[in-house]
Amino acid sequence: MRIGSLPAPRRIAACVATLCLFAAVACAAGDNIAPEGYTALFNGADLAGWKGLVADPPARAAMTAERLAEEQRKADERMRAHWRVEDGALVFDGKGDSLCTARDYADFDLYVDWKIEAKGDSGIYLRGSPQVQIWDNPVGSGGLYNNEKHPSGPLFVADRPVGQWNTFRIIMSGERVTVYLNGILVVDDTPMENYWERGKPIYPSGQIELQNHGSKLYFKNIYLRELPPAPARAAAAPIVKRGCRVAVAGDSITEQRLYSRFIEDYLLMCCADLDLMCMQFGWSGERAPGFQARFADDCLGFKPNVVTTCYGMNDGLYRPYEPGIGAAYEQAMRAIARAAAAAGVGMVVGSPGAVDLFTFRRPDLPPPVYNDNLARLRDIARTIARESGQPFANVHDHMMLAQLRAKPVLGEAYDVCGGDGFHPQPNGHLVMAYAFLKALGMDGAIGSITVDMQGGAAAQGGHTVLSAEKGAVEIRSVNYPFCFFGDEKSPAATRSILPFLPFNADLNRLTLVVRNLTGASARVTWGAASKVFPRARLEEGINLAAEFLDNPFCEAFRKVDALVAKKQEFETVMIKEAVTKFRWIRAALGDDAEGARAIATLVDKLFARQRALHEEVRAAIAPVTHRLVVGAP
């Protein structure tokens, strides 16, 4: 099942569940009156600030100033014949050309309300380039329809029924685009490709266009906030490098030692060549100011190269959002970002998670109200990440998406954010780990194995062919695929969330390709399990990690995971019961050099013990020898 293609009842439930995520804009003073910090591009009365469409960007660039002015005059005449203002909305009669902003824009945060009729088709061009899709289509609106190399479809079908108003929020930063439709993430920080000149990146600036595709269209409440240029960062390169140290910080959700464990499992077993070391710094009840206060003493003692942060759940104070909540969170998170930069530590700025739409039950605080609070803190975290040139982990929206996908299938009582509504079980922690691993730059290529049915085999990415004969291959693997366990319907099991989270597709691809297969299908046996696949799929490549959840790596993976759990349990006690308390002892001793040396010695010994536990984990990650057989179905 394609994740985004859910039937209408699920789409409706999704929209209702997250309705107040856009409360700040929806509850502005009135239609076409911009909320604070934004400019209204449409005044609700006339076409001021808009112009007609002249050709495409390369063609316009090739025109002389005189020719362009003349073509613009003609385009404006056509525009006024087919676009009008009616009851505070821009209305297009279905003929003529697209409507364009008179100004060009580079980076921006844009809101647009839109409505279409049955079979309607339109879109929003960004910097003059197509497009954020709008249409009456089961695929859903919001996707970057003209992308070829990068994802083009929406993550979720969030459209309201035809004839009702929908709201886009579109964030464009550099070449990357994030799109929300009716408060639901449908495009996640995805590069937008240059449709007009495929070999070039998207233009640095350009007009915003309301696309004509021969349908009657309606637009209103078009609000834009220009964003300053983001600092340059090697966006294509992962923030983690070989031999680096990764610190995982957060509140009680981090102290559960589940998503932190999954991150460490992945970095050590799925990316063995990176030779990383991880340490978790979770602290129950902590808010961002708490980690700010202990960052230097606790976290820097580990000498990290990268720190991931996940704060906001407690910073929201379990009440509706107020400006003071955002100000306190922002002040502390900016201070952490500055301290990390001063120490030469890269930072993945994580958003808070989400609360469960069913199990978070507080009479005075419905789940959508607190999720609105957390979404505002998410926006602050995203802004800090952008301004500091660091990766952003969108934990909140991926947890929202996971529950909106899973609950219609497994029941609304299937919790993604925990039985209490905010402390997730393993299913929700896998979603959190997914968000952080994506932000860390993991590309998901665990390796590939190619079997030639006429003889021979080859492998890449930490895998070595030991023998191959007539479709039977023995392989020695250093990199493990990530393994999942438990009841496929239980939130206590990582397997249960897999149909609703693209973990395997995005992060866990161990690909088998079969060449020169003569039959229409073949049976693949891997370890004790076997499945039949059509020839076309085998020639294209199947993901063994996704197709065989019970596989030859599971036992080894479990053993390493248990040692990681033991190590992380020690880290919690080490930090909370010893290292942090040394601050009080140092203050109590004052200018006592001998006492300071004694404390330093104890800290060194504790970190030495942590390193020894890490080495125990590393020693357990032994190469796995396994057998693949491709034969008659």
Q: Which tens digit of pLDDT belongs to each residue from 51-103?
A: 999 999 999 999 999 999 999 999 999 999 999 999 999 999 999 999 999 99
Look at residue 245 and tell me whether its pLDDT is greater than 50.
yes
Q: Which pair of tokens denotes residue 260?
A: 């932190």
> Do 51 and 100 touch, CB atoms closer than 8 A?
yes
Instruction: Give Cβ neighbours of residue 543 (< 8 Å, ≥ 6 apart).
Output: 504, 505, 508, 509, 510, 511
426-439 and 395-410 are packed helices; what angle lies between their axes, rounded to 10 degrees?
A: 140
pLDDT number for residue 29: 62
pLDDT number for residue 21: 45
Look at residue 23 and tell me whether its pLDDT is greater than 60.
no
Q: Grade residue 237 by pLDDT with cuts at 50, 70 and 90.
A: low
Look at residue 3 and tell me whether its pLDDT is greater than 70.
no
Q: What is the pTM of this model?
A: 0.94
Smallest CA-to-CA distance from 443 within 201, 171, 150 is with 150
DSSP letter, residue 576: I
> Do 500 and 3 touch, CB atoms closer than 8 A?
yes
Look at residue 362 and tell me whether its pLDDT is greater than 80.
yes
> Do 212 and 104 touch, CB atoms closer than 8 A?
no
DSSP letter, residue 21: G
> Do 141 and 159 touch, CB atoms closer than 8 A?
yes
Match 């021969």 to its residue by tokens. Answer: 214
Reply yes or no: is the peptide bond before residue 131 cis, omega within 30 of 0. Answer: yes
Strand partners, 624: 477
Q: Give 34's Cβ-side CA count (13 Å radius).
A: 15
Arithmetic mean of pLDDT, 214-236: 85
What is the spatial distance between Cα 364 and Cα 266, in angstroms, rounded to a whole number? 39
Homologous superfamily, domain 8-226:
Exo-inulinase; domain 1 (2.60.120.560)
Arithmetic mean of pLDDT, 116-130: 96
Arithmetic mean of pLDDT, 535-544: 97
Residues of the chain with CATH 2.60.120.560: 8-226
What burial class does residue 365 get, using C-beta atoms within 10 Å of its C-beta: 0-12 exposed, 13-18 middle, 19+ buried? middle
Smallest CA-to-CA distance from 49 within 36, 40, 37 is with 40
pLDDT number for residue 5: 42
Q: Grade residue 231 by pLDDT with cuts at 50, 70 and 90.
A: confident
Look at residue 4 and tell me whether its pLDDT is greater than 60.
no
Look at residue 366 and tell me whether its pLDDT is greater than 90.
yes
Arithmetic mean of pLDDT, 336-347: 97
> Do 218 and 210 touch, CB atoms closer than 8 A?
no
Mode of pairing for the β-strands spanning 277-282 and 245-250: parallel
- Single-letter amino acid code for the residue at 558: R
Residues of the chain with CATH 3.40.50.1110: 245-443
Q: What percent of the chain has pLDDT over 70?
A: 94
Look at residue 20 and tell me whether its pLDDT is greater than 80.
no
Q: Please, where are the H alpha helices in 497-553? A: 503-507, 535-540, 544-547
What is the spatial distance between Cα 498 and Cα 493, in angstroms, rounded to a whole number? 10
pLDDT number for residue 153: 96
Q: What's the mean per-residue pLDDT of the chain?
A: 93
Arithmetic mean of pLDDT, 405-414: 97
Look at residue 413 and tell me whether its pLDDT is greater than 60.
yes
What burial class does residue 19 get, using C-beta atoms within 10 Å of its C-beta: 0-12 exposed, 13-18 middle, 19+ buried? middle
- Single-letter amino acid code for the residue at 480: Y
pLDDT number for residue 325: 98
Span 245-443 CATH architecture: 3-Layer(aba) Sandwich (3.40)
Mode of pairing for the β-strands spanning 306-310 and 346-350: parallel
Look at residue 19 and tell me whether its pLDDT is greater than 50.
no
pLDDT number for residue 233: 59
What is the spatial distance between Cα 180 and Cα 158, in angstroms, rounded to a whole number? 9
pLDDT digits (tens, 9 = 90+) for 604-622: 999 999 999 999 999 999 9
> Do 491 and 498 touch, CB atoms closer than 8 A?
no
The residue ranking higher by pLDDT, 590 or 232, is 590
What is the spatial distance between Cα 90 and Cα 93, in angstroms, rounded to a whole number? 10
Task: Tell me the CA distances in angstroms from 155 to 143, 175, 258, 506, one per residue in order.
Answer: 8, 19, 25, 13
Arithmetic mean of pLDDT, 221-235: 83
- Single-letter amino acid code for the residue at 521: S
DSSP letter, residue 302: G
Q: Which pair of tokens denotes residue 41?
A: 């591009």
Strand partners, 168: 112, 181
Q: Grade residue 238 by pLDDT with cuts at 50, 70 and 90.
A: confident
- Single-letter amino acid code for the residue at 572: T
pLDDT digits (tens, 9 = 90+) for 252-293: 999 999 999 999 999 999 999 999 999 999 999 999 999 999
**Torsions phi, psi for 399 (to 5 deg):** -75, -35
* Stretch (H or E) spanning 447: strand 445-452
Q: What percent of the chain has pLDDT over 90?
A: 89
What is the spatial distance between Cα 500 and Cα 220, in angstroms, rounded to a whole number? 34
What is the spatial distance between Cα 362 and Cα 316, in angstroms, rounded to a whole number? 14
DSSP letter, residue 161: P
Ramachandran class of 326: left when φ > 0, alpha when ψ lies in -120 to 50, beta otherwise: alpha
pLDDT number for residue 391: 95
pLDDT number for residue 388: 93
Look at residue 16 and tell me whether its pLDDT is greater than 80.
no
